[in-house]
């Protein structure tokens, strides 16, 4: 294997077990027919085809970013096929925009412990990204490639035909060099092209992104894959998730947690006994949607007769507070986090849920491009919406202080508080008691956790 590729894979082994396991399952095949790199299949296994000259002209951090890029296409199920009624150029551009933007937005915190210093991965220059005004025009914070495709199709240029012509110039059809056959040499042997160039319509095998001069950009080539190939690759990715979950370092691998969240769809599970108890306790302490009488709204039925009587009002949704310890092991375990927020989502319809996060400090999340980032202004409340749990990033396992929450933020508050943590609390002896507290502790947390106040429930993965 190429030495730079090996160096990149060694770096990934130290920083991201998930990515490493993914590429351990892959076959690496050197190919002069591919101008850059491309993910495909060889003998029913994922295969990364690479042009050695292309790899040699990249820095290791660029190679690392492109390896993550190619893997994300598999995770996001971008099989690059030209779907009916879809413009293939816009489709492939939209898919690359989504992946590149995802990497760029997470570049400094992709891997655990990468909060400071130079990131270990860096995208090459001039790769297509989702324009900032896409989010402003559409209001979509976490777009799928179909969202970007529809936006490209509807906008971009006044005349769509001119826009598509411009996009067309950014692509070059990926075809094997058949000139060798004309010189009497043997046909192409590369398994990438076996049985794929025999179609009568002689369609291209995929696309290459090019610059204004027609030179390939420093990014992956898009190979058209059959649905069965795409499905097998996604199945292999799920197997890798199971393999990586047994690794002792998985709980501290932020990227592993993120990829697992993306691949796991919403799971409909029966409400267990602990979930029922949590819900009952919240209902007991936080009644909502009940009718009340108030003189601020008079009863019109009697007012016409000169009687000023109180009128009925429907009380607004009661507010509850959910605090998540992002440095805890539970946030890096998607299964436990999903179970915990399964309870929260059952309450969202009835209660307005205020979400706060904690690491070394207490902060509100703010959503930017589908990711929950820090908002230190505690006047800007964040209210939970179904699915927001997937956008919560795990921390690097540092110490979390609960004093800012209990001793300052909750002062003069009386709403029910749900705390999701691992139960290893550094300053628990200094906390001011808050009686309406519900503690949710993950299976990997402190199973002997006995708080001085509130009720404790252990998250059960059934």
Is there a domain that residue 127 lies in? yes
Give dist(CA 132, CA 328) in Å, integer. 33
Are residues 248 and 141 both part of a single domain? yes
- Asked if the structure places residue 266 within a domain, the reply is no
Are residue 245 and residue 323 in the same domain, yes or no?
no
Together in a domain, 119 and 149: yes
CB atoms within 10 A of CB 17: 23
**Length reported for the chain:** 462
| Cα dihedral 450, 455, 458, 460 in deg (nearest 10) | 170
**Quick check: pTM over 0.85?**
no
**pLDDT by residue (tens digit) across 164-211?**
666 666 777 775 444 444 333 333 344 344 333 333 333 457 788 887
For residue 312, give both structure tokens: 């009925």
Same domain, 155 and 187: yes
* pLDDT value of residue 297: 58
Strand order in the sheet with 27-30: 27-30, 45-50, 37-42
Residues 6+ apart with CB under 8 A from 241: 18, 256, 259, 260, 263
Residue at 294 is within a domain: no
194 and 239 both lie in a single domain: yes
Residue (of 99, 96, 120) closest to 108 by Cα position: 120
C-alpha torsion sign, points 55, 215, 197, 46:
positive
- The predicted pLDDT at position 75 comes to 84
Same domain for 192 and 214? yes
Are 138 and 223 in the same domain? yes
Predicted confidence at residue 408, as pLDDT, reads 92
Q: How far is CA 457 from CA 146, 279, 438, in A?
A: 41, 11, 7
**Mean pLDDT in consecutive groups of 10 residues from the start of the chain, 462 residues:** 88 79 87 88 85 93 92 82 67 90 81 61 87 82 84 63 64 57 36 37 64 83 76 76 71 69 52 67 63 54 57 63 82 74 78 86 81 77 86 67 91 89 85 90 79 83 50
DSSP three-state, residue 57:
coil
| Domain contains 308 | no
- The DSSP 8-state label assigned to residue 317 in this structure reads P
- Domain membership of residue 81 (yes or no) is yes
155-182 as b/e, with b when 16 or more CB fall inside 10 Å? ebeeeeeebbeebeebbbebebeeeeee
Where does residue 15 rank: exposed (0-12), middle (13-18), buried (19+ CB within 10 A)?
buried
In whole angstroms, how far apart are CA 190 and each of 193, 199, 302, 350? Answer: 6, 17, 89, 60
| Same domain flag for 327 and 390 | yes
Residue 305 included in any domain: no
Range of the domain at 405: 273-288+317-458
**Dihedrals φ, ψ of 136, to 5°?**
-70, -40
Task: Identify whether residues 229 and 325 lie together within a single domain.
Answer: no
The burial of 28, by beta-carbon neighbours within 10 Å (0-12 exposed, 13-18 middle, 19 or more buried), is given as: middle
Query: What's residue 197's pLDDT?
Result: 37
Domain count, the chain: 2
C-alpha 68/C-alpha 87 separation (Å) is 26
Residue 312 lies in a domain: no
What's residue 336's pLDDT?
A: 73
Backbone angles phi, psi at 85, to 5 degrees: 70, 10
Q: How many helices and strands (H and E) does the chain possess?
A: 15, 15
Enclosing H/E stretch for 67: helix 60-75
Q: Are residues 281 and 237 in the same domain?
A: no
- Which has the closest alpha carbon to 251: 336, 192, 310? 336
Going by the DSSP 8-state scheme, the letter that residue 432 receives in this structure is: P
d(CA 164, CA 154): 11
Q: Quick one: 250 and 397 in the same domain?
A: no
343 lies in the same domain as 211:
no
CATH of the domain at 340: 3.40.50
* DSSP output for 236-305: HHHHHHHHHHTSTTGGG-HHHHHHHHHHPPPP-----HHHHHHHHHHHHHS--S-EEEEEEEE-HHHHTT
Residue 307 lies in a domain: no
């Amino acid at each position: 294997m190429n030495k730079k590729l090996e160096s990149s894979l060694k770096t990934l082994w130290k920083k991201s077990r998930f990515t490493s396991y993914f590429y351990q399952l892959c076959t690496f095949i050197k190919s002069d027919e591919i101008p850059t790199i491309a993910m495909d299949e060889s003998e029913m296994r994922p295969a990364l085809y690479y042009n050695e000259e292309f790899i040699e002209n990249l820095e290791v951090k660029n190679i690392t970013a492109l390896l993550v890029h190619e893997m994300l296409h598999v995770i996001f199920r971008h099989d690059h096929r030209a779907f009916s009624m879809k413009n293939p150029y816009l489709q492939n551009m939209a898919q690359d925009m989504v992946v590149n933007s995802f990497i760029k937005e997470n570049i400094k915190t992709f891997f655990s412990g990468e909060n400071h210093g130079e990131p270990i991965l860096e995208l090459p220059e001039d790769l297509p990204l989702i324009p900032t005004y896409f989010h402003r025009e559409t209001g979509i914070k976490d777009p799928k490639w179909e969202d970007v495709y529809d936006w490209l199709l509807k906008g971009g240029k006044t005349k769509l035909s001119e826009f598509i012509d411009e996009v067309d110039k950014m692509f070059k059809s990926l075809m094997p060099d058949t000139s060798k056959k004309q010189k009497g040499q043997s046909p192409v042997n590369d398994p990438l092209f076996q049985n794929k160039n025999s179609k009568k319509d002689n369609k291209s095998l995929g696309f290459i992104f090019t610059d204004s001069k027609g030179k390939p950009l420093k990014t992956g080539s898009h190979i058209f894959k059959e649905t069965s190939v795409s499905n097998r690759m996604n199945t292999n990715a799920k197997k890798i998730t199971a393999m990586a979950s047994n690794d002792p370092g998985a709980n501290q691998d932020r990227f592993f947690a993120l990829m697992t969240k993306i691949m796991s769809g919403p799971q409909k599970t029966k409400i267990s006994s602990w979930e029922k108890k949590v819900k009952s306790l919240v209902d007991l302490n936080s009644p909502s949607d009940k009718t009340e009488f108030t003189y601020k709204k008079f009863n019109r039925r009697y007012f016409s007769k000169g009687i000023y009587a109180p009128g009925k009002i429907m009380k607004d949704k009661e507010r509850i507070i959910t605090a998540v310890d992002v440095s805890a092991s539970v946030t890096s375990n998607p299964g436990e986090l999903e179970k915990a927020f399964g309870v929260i989502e059952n309450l969202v319809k009835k209660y307005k849920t205020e979400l706060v996060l904690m690491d070394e400090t207490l902060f509100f999340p703010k959503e930017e491009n589908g990711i929950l980032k820090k908002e230190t202004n505690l006047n800007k409340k964040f209210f939970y919406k179904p699915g927001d749990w997937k956008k919560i990033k795990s921390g690097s396992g540092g110490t979390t202080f609960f004093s800012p929450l209990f001793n300052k933020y909750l002062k003069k508050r009386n709403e029910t508080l749900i705390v999701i943590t691992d139960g290893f609390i550094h300053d628990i002896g200094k906390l001011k008691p808050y009686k309406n507290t519900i503690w949710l502790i993950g299976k990997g947390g402190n199973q002997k956790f006995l708080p001085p106040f509130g009720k404790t429930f252990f998250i059960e993965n059934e």
